[in-house]
Amino acid sequence: MSATAEINELHDLIGGLRRCVTSLKTRYGDNPAMRRLVIDADRILSDIQLLDTDVAELDLDRATVQHSAEMIAIPDTEYDRDFWRDVDDEGVGGHSRY
């Protein structure tokens, strides 16, 4: 499925969502929960419109990913201990200094 087809599908879906939200607002009135739903639906529509702009500017339908066949060798040898001096493992805490 192309990006354009997916964006068109998003427009159809957000149209259906907005119709449902409008129907619910008619039934339940203007209350905080309904205002949140209306704001959320409007935000989603705005995000889709921004995506439309990005796709048009970046021409994502024609974008291609280039893969490199070049392999980078990483040696199995130990790094010099001075390389790791003053480094802490995130989430584990500091290493004991030796």
Domain boundaries, the chain: 1-64
> Both ends of the chain: CA-CA distance in Å?
57
| Tens of pLDDT, residue by residue, the chain (98 residues) | 566 788 889 889 988 999 999 999 999 999 999 999 999 999 998 998 888 888 777 765 565 667 778 888 888 888 888 887 777 666 655 555 55
- At 1 the pLDDT is 59
Q: How far is CA 77 from CA 71, 74, 80, 81, 95, in A?
A: 18, 9, 9, 12, 21
- The reported pTM is 0.52
